[in-house]
Structure 1
Amino acid sequence: MPVSVPSFGLPASVWFIIACYGAIMLAGALTMPFPTRVDELPHLSVIRAQFEHPTLFPDWSQYHVLREDDLTRWSSNANYINHPSLYYLLLAPLMLVTGDPLLFRIANVLIATIALLIGVVAVHRRFGCDNLSPALFALIAASFPKAMIVGGMINNDNLSALAAAALFGGLLGLPGAGWWVLAGLAIAGWTKLTAFLALAAVSGLWLAWQWTRGRMGWTDRLVAFAIIGLLIGAIPYLVTLARTGHVLWVNDMIWRVPSAARETLDLPAFTIRFFRTMIWKWPAMEGIYPLSLAFAGLLAPLLPMAVAVRYEAVRHFVIAYAGATIFLLAVHFVFGWRSYQQMGDLTIMQARYYNILWPGIALAAAFVIDRWRRRWPLLAWIAVGLCLLPTWLGGMIYMLI
């Protein structure tokens, strides 16, 4: 009997985009030298540690990094990973097959591809082809600048993306919506603090908007699922707080810059440095474009998102995701400023932290660009091109060199 592969009613063009997305990530997984500089060796080291001694609540201060020249042996170098254990526990059983990083990279490609698929299916079910081109959404959703690069690496950003897709799908009304919301928040919490904070803000703003419009009460089943998801997601940080007095353990010895080597920045200078660096890091290949062109690539999805608030069909998503973006940016900035003040660290400016908010941004941008496509096709294609420029071209150049 032939095996039936579900199509989810998606057009062939959408499957082509998803296939290209997965293929580019797989090509990266196969060709990028290991380890990349995006924390791959530290992540693989924690997977190995969790394979050897699995635990829900690790003592991160005791973890070390594997030797780069021999991945079966430990070095004396301390690890700086401080994320909850879910990602590492999920991938640790693969060590029974092999410790080859390629297998773990391929697992990440699958996770990232499934995340995109969930988002596209949710949008297609909610809006249909007549109200929003699923291919256009898929193209923009696949265009978060570092998604294709990180998708081919060992990195918990990929599990964060899956959590983001689950929450996004639940808010869009996938069957069993409450469970999708619960899973998204719980997985985010057990994967990465930035993901948990951002998705908690999305769900809180979305539910508050529904309540103020009389569409949902606080006793609604979806609210209960969201609260349970938040409580589950908060557990690792509450445990860390009880153990250390902080919600997140930070390896000061690695991130602390000697006083003599620190740059001297006051708050205005740090603010300029923060936002310039975020813009510079926006493309998949950092520094590939002039700052002005990188900024245009950043504005390309954000400006249509600002216009999308006019449309009732997506207004509540715009409010939720735009508000959560502002919230995460504020937290990110404050944490970065404190990290600089206390340790002289200037590495906190990472644009890839915002991957968890991309599904909502992509939905709003695609919704508006789809309407431009019908009235001003040239404007629409320019907007799409600018959305793709930081990702598809930059990602492929990154992997080629």
Structure 2
Amino acid sequence: MANLSTFLARANPRGAGAQPLAAWRGGLIIAAAALAFHVLGAALVADLSLFPSSLDEIQHLSYLRWMAHAPALFPHFEAIPTLDDRATHWTAAPNYLNHPSPYYLALGGLDRLLGGSVAAMRLVNIALSGLAVAIMLRAGFTVLRTPREQAVFAAFLVLFPKMGVVAGIVSNDNAALLATAVVFAGLLRWHATGRLADAALLAAGLALCGWTKFTVFLMAGFAVAIAELPRLKLMAVRPRLARCAVIALGAGAGAVPTLENLARYGRPLFHPTNFFTPVAERTAVSFADYAALFFQQMAITWSAREPARPLEMAGLAGVLAILGLTVVLAARRARAGEPLTAPWIVALGFGLALPPTLALHLWFGWQAVLEDGYLTAAQARYYYGVWPGIALAAALLWREAPLRAVRPAILLTLALLLLASPALLMLVTEVRGDPPIR
């Protein structure tokens, strides 16, 4: 608790002494409650959900155990096998994961030390995810003025429906969430101070993203690029140019796994054959039909339990409305000649990273249709990479939105997100005796 107190004291850019004691205590309670909620939801998933999770858990576990057996910084993905569902024997099925290796190398060694315990590996993943949430909480609290704004940010942050589910299983997404957290913290600090140390933090986050997951690297890259666009005219200033070069070096380091894939496979990611359907057996679809299916799958996979129910999907509509209103309000401020502060720039950077990432995701999915006849590439859980910016946008709207209806709409969206959260769904499942989440 002392460490958490220090964390929140440092989170106030004016210093702990400049903040009223009641507000400081309020921030401490909010951070502790948000982190506890996230960890509780993940722990319920780890304890009550079936193994292996349907979210590729056996593939992640297989990959890390193969790295313990045959470690390689740039593995031959086509040679990685898959364990059986009891994780006791290797099968002939190829592993379709194509993520960079560091998470698997690190946890493969740890798994061996811990005797191959799946429960222990799930706890390690909860720790990774919890650390990511703590970093994002600290970063957001540095730029939010009141406990109410902090509460909105913290609640949104931990109510991304799939985040708690993934936190409770063995998944590289937990390392990618940690990398996202470092980019979020680094980008906020970089735009607030412009210091070399903060440029280095942002660079480290970009490198971590590139070495954990390609989609997260894309989202982080788009967020940084969009946030930097308004400041391009400052690029010629020598001190800033040197610091931007540090960020570019981090991005370059993060691109190394993608460049390796391009050299080896001729494409940014290894293309597995697990989902290939013979041409004669495929369902003929047009691009328009596939696009409709793609976005339908996004909605269906939104909740902690799939398929998402209509009320749970309504939370997704609220999130998109918040993002749209943030863009509108920022545009109005820009037209009025009001400079955008660091939190607004970062929220917009992450939020506006969503459309280009979605477009690329749709394009990759369409290529899978053409090459393999594979129709189910869309997953809402991939978009935790933009979520901290959306949570920050909600808090900024709470502070500054001119319409009276905005705050009730934000509270309604939070309530709908809670309905889709793993902690609530796991408890209801256990009480009612429903089949466990898988």
Report what 1:240 is aligned to.
261
* Cα distance in structure 2, aligned partners of 1:374 and 1:333: 34
* Cα distance in structure 1, aligned partners of 2:429 and 2:96: 25
Report what 2:376 is aligned to.
347
* Cα distance in structure 2, aligned partners of 1:202 and 1:397: 37
Report what 1:149 is aligned to.
165
Amino acid at match of 2:150: P
What is the deviation of 1:301?
Answer: 1.9
Amino acid at match of 1:238: L
1:357 corresponds to which of 366, 369, 386: 386
- Structure 1 residue matching 2:4: 3-state secondary structure: coil
The answer to whether the Cα contact below 8 Å between 2:103 and 2:172 also exists between their aligned partners in 1 is yes
The answer to whether the Cα contact below 8 Å between 2:348 and 2:393 also exists between their aligned partners in 1 is no
- Structure 2 residue matching 1:77: 3-state secondary structure: strand
The answer to whether the Cα contact below 8 Å between 2:141 and 2:150 also exists between their aligned partners in 1 is yes
2:121 corresponds to which of 93, 96, 104: 104
Structure 1 window deviating more from structure 2 (171-180 vs 276-285): it is 171-180
Report what 2:411 is aligned to.
381
Label 1:398 to 1:232 Cα distance change in 2 as closer, same or farther (>3 A): farther
Structure 1 residues 2-401: aligned runs within 5 Å: 4-7=2-5, 8-9=7-8, 10-69=27-86, 71-94=87-110, 95-129=112-146, 133-173=149-189, 176-212=197-233, 214=234, 217=237, 219-252=240-273, 254-290=274-310, 293-309=311-327, 310-311=329-330, 312-313=340-341, 314-371=343-400, 375=404, 378-392=408-422, 393-394=424-425, 396=427, 401=436
Deviations 1:248-297 (A, max 9, x none): 11112x1101234322211111111111111111112122413xx34421
- Structure 2 residue matching 1:255: 3-state secondary structure: coil
The answer to whether the Cα contact below 8 Å between 1:283 and 1:394 also exists between their aligned partners in 2 is no
Structure 1 window deviating more from structure 2 (176-185 vs 275-284): it is 176-185
- Structure 1 residue matching 2:72: 3-state secondary structure: coil
- Structure 2 residue matching 1:126: 3-state secondary structure: coil
Q: Could you state the TM-score of these two structures normalised by the residue count of structure 1?
A: 0.91
Deviations 1:133-190 (A, max 9, x none): 2122111001111001111011111111111110000111179322321121111111
* Cα distance in structure 1, aligned partners of 2:290 and 2:316: 20
Structure 1 window deviating more from structure 2 (317-326 vs 157-166): it is 317-326
Label 1:369 to 1:280 Cα distance change in 2 as closer, same or farther (>3 A): farther
* Cα distance in structure 2, aligned partners of 1:308 and 1:167: 21
Structure 1 window deviating more from structure 2 (183-192 vs 365-374): it is 365-374
Structure 1 window deviating more from structure 2 (332-341 vs 21-30): it is 21-30
What is the deviation of 1:302?
Answer: 2.2
Amino acid at match of 2:265: T
Q: Could you state the TM-score of these two structures normalised by the residue count of structure 2?
A: 0.83
